[in-house]
A and B are shown apart, each in its own frame.
Chain A
């Protein structure tokens, strides 16, 4: 753990326990109104909900290196990444509860969180965050700035054209982009080996002659070290990198997923390999005792509780709000700068 300070470890721990607790609480709120019969459209949080419990190391280890002006695009499973990137937790929570003061005024929901203050966005279409991340890298390069962009994707997304095209685009223009694959072994019900030709997704980098590194351990510290190198390369204008991180899906693909396709042992194994416990061991090595960790956890819980309480006190949108925000420059507001010019040369 050469280059890792106690502060870095502590901050990563804060992010990871915040994300874990946040999702435990969201799960409770989500299930309200969905008992005894599960109806996805009922309760205070309707629609699909994709939780990321077991994937926090990939978020914390990478985002620890990022500044507010660095861009992150996340996929349909975004909460842990959003938290690590510093997205406004109150307004993100209000968005998930569909409230008027949410990040998207209730228009986006949990798969479509946008926080331009910290250059964060996510999308529910597989791999479609990759091209915009390359675009953020392109903007940084054109403007001679040293910001970088990180695109998150699942291991199931590495077979998608948008990812592969973005790799080439980033490579050919030497863009400051890091592609982070979260390998949780599953794409909904499809095990990786059934649908993907490589065991190590970072190998996708080979065909584009860029570095591809895999972190096998679901270990925040190792992710931090590998990401540090990749992000450093990007900032120094040395081009893109692919990182794959082995993570674990502790939950169903989405809330309500019966997971009948998934062997018991696989679920148990995911529950046992906990990157948060692993980081706690590392913290102890650094002299952070259990009381101090307990304090961090309590603070994280308070922050989460406060965000949820705030969100639930926010107003719902009015039905007519649906017609707002189609354009930042609504058609009626376009200034008419057409010259007084008659193409036909008529005498009017």
Chain B
């Protein structure tokens, strides 16, 4: 993980994300950030902490609560060649501005026959686990990955957060960067141990469409992303005690999707468990299973899906715990494949 000089430091995911943004802003005057509470507050989930202090209000812009206007303004500025980053505080708020996302940002390149480019990044917080209920807890991976024309990336650790962000800002297409609140390392929302990792001081890019095998194993392939990478790794440790050796694949990007890495793993293990925090139907889990079936049906001995059963995220703790997949749910699904 170290760069040539070997300099790394342990960072939370939010610090890693900010360090990539700050680096790109220093290098390129055309990069700027827009969002609610991104200036003085530093982002509700610490996604911009310290940026206003370094770059000022003109480049780290607090904007009106007018998502259609400011997401659309990012599209327009990007089409003029600037490199805006716009933040949707919670991904759940996409509804008030969806046209700018799926009819403008995602389609303008294609509809112009490739003559228009939209080099912007849309960042959005995702995820539940803290009882914020149905309008503030969704993990809408499938909603956005479904739309042709958007690249969709999901970091699981600080290392990924920085490398994916560098790439997202430099990419000439619109990139949706979905970060899980529980992983950011925010004071009031304690993160698990995993996401804080050594991060190189210098800039580096993680190419989109390159999944990362976070744990090698021979018995079963667990494909997942975001928070559930860490839950899958915990489950794998528990399963190892029972002699089950799970391989954990961190997708890192949904579009493009690294089907090769998944298929290679399934060809080795024969068993596939797909885990995510989105709704079960018409989503990521179904898509991964279908992709593997397309390419390597014969390799598949068994398949399990672990996702949010198709209900909105309930507020009360016993019910939220029931619907958001946890370590036990993953371990149980893996056992069913053995």
Contact = CB atoms under 8 A, between A and B. Distances in A.
Given A125-B95, A156-B65, A317 B318 contact: yes
A185 interface: no
Interface in B42-97: 44, 62-66, 68-69, 92-93, 95-96
Interface in B99-134: 129-134
Contacts of B66: 159-161
A41 B130 CA distance: 4
Most buried by B among A38, A107, A256, A323: A107
Nearest to B187: A38
B155 interface: no
Nearest to A107: B314
A109 B133 CA distance: 7
A339 interface: no
A157 B95 contact: no
B298 interface: no
A40 B136 CA distance: 14
Contacts of B187: 38
Interface in A246-282: 256, 260-261
Contact of B65 (A41, A109, A195, A321): A195
A47 B313 CA distance: 12
A195 B130 CA distance: 30
B183 interface: no
A109 B36 CA distance: 24
Contacts of B92: 125
A325 B96 CA distance: 25
B217 interface: no
B316 interface: yes
B64 A159 contact: yes
A189 B37 contact: yes
B135 A125 contact: yes
Contacts of B131: 41, 46-47, 98, 109
B7 interface: no
Contacts of B65: 126-127, 156-157, 159-160, 187, 195
Interface string A295-332: 00000000000000000000011111111001000000
Nearest to B323: A322
B256 interface: no
Interface in A104-154: 104, 106-109, 111-112, 123-128
Measured as residues with beta carbon below 8 angstroms from the partner, the interface class of chain B is 35 or more
Contacts of B129: 41
Contacts of A161: 66, 68, 96
25 contacts: A37-B190, A41-B129, A41-B189, A46-B317, A47-B131, A107-B314, A109-B133, A112-B133, A112-B315, A125-B92, A126-B96, A157-B65, A159-B65, A160-B96, A189-B39, A190-B39, A190-B40, A316-B317, A317-B316, A317-B319, A318-B318, A319-B321, A321-B314, A321-B318, A323-B309
Top 8 A-B pairs ranked by shortest CB distance? A106-B316, A109-B315, A98-B316, A319-B322, A41-B130, A46-B131, A261-B40, A189-B41
Interface of A: 37-41, 46-48, 98-99, 104, 106-109, 111-112, 123-128, 156-157, 159-162, 187-190, 194-196, 256, 260-261, 316-323, 326
Given A41-B189, A106-B319, A126-B93, 18 more contacts: A40-B188, A46-B130, A46-B131, A98-B315, A99-B316, A106-B315, A108-B134, A109-B132, A109-B133, A126-B96, A127-B96, A160-B96, A161-B66, A162-B96, A190-B36, A195-B65, A196-B64, A323-B311
